[in-house]
Amino acid sequence: MNDNTAIRVENLSKSFGDGDSFIEVIKDASFTINRGELVALIAPSGGGKTTLLMMIGCVEEPVSGQIWIGNEKVFDNKWLTKETRKIRREKIGFIFQAHYLIPFLNIINNLLLLPQANKTDKKTAKAKARELLKYFDIADKEKAMPSQLSGGQNQRVAIARALINDPRIILADEPTAALDMQRSVDVVKILKKIALEQEVAIVMVTHDERMLPYCDRIMKIEDKAIIFK
């Protein structure tokens, strides 16, 4: 493992249920993802993409295996910390298919939710939020409500929200599914730029093959195993 490693997974396995309802989703997966990389994660529906993303994100508990976030080992057949939430808050940003902005908070207050939970200094957080809104070309929307923004603008706010705590890892589950082709390409290009400029590792689930050329690597779940194409 080198300093560039953002995510490392060894022999990770995950199943759900037991008896008749037993289903094995991931079996003995091992891979490394580096900072600065945008990696596409593909598989058919039900193939285990969200499950894998949520295990890396310390949300879903694997059955067995090991996970490192940066150089910190967080899972070794069990969580090595009681505070998986702390790891999530400090090191990982999440972006989902729907933007999940809070409808009754304006844009800047949506961005300030996580820093507040982390007890980040308010002035610092606000300055960072404004810098991000500017970066994403929506500085003038600071006081607007999510319902007043377009789908693409809201998704940019959601990406800004994922970046507000300078995470080392961003996990995106179909971030472009609700967008048209042009907006999708815009969002993926932004993710690529962020990965490079901020040395963040980004794993992006996508169903859209047209997004793959913009990604550095393509990770596929096939027969419960991880392969790189």
Ligand X SMILES: Nc1ncnc2c1ncn2[C@@H]1O[C@H](COP(=O)(O)OP(=O)(O)OP(=O)(O)O)[C@@H](O)[C@H]1O
Residues that bind ligand X (CB under 6 A): 16-17, 23, 25, 43, 45-51
Residue closer to ligand X by CB (options 61, 137) is 61
Rounded least distance, CB 203 to ligand X, Å: 12
* Binding interface with Mg ion (CB under 5 A): 49-50
Nearest by Cα to 68 from 111, 31, 43:
31
Residue closer to Mg ion by CB (options 160, 172) is 172
Residue type, 168: R
36: left (phi over 0), alpha (psi -120 to 50) or beta: left
Residue closer to ligand X by CB (options 43, 162) is 43
Residue closer to ligand X by CB (options 17, 19) is 17
Of Mg ion, ligand X, none, which one does residue 43 interact with (CB within 5 to 8 Å by kind)? ligand X
Rounded least distance, CB 173 to Mg ion, Å: 6
By DSSP bridging, strand 38-42 and strand 201-205 are parallel
Rounded least distance, CB 175 to ligand X, Å: 13
Rounded least distance, CB 43 to ligand X, Å: 5
Edge to edge, what strands does the sheet with 23-34 contain? 23-34, 5-16, 64-69, 72-76
By DSSP bridging, strand 169-173 and strand 201-205 are parallel
Of ligand X, Mg ion, none, which one does residue 23 interact with (CB within 5 to 8 Å by kind)? ligand X
Q: Where are the alpha helices (DSSP H) in 40-166?
A: 49-56, 84-91, 107-117, 122-135, 151-163
Of Mg ion, ligand X, none, which one does residue 102 interact with (CB within 5 to 8 Å by kind)? none
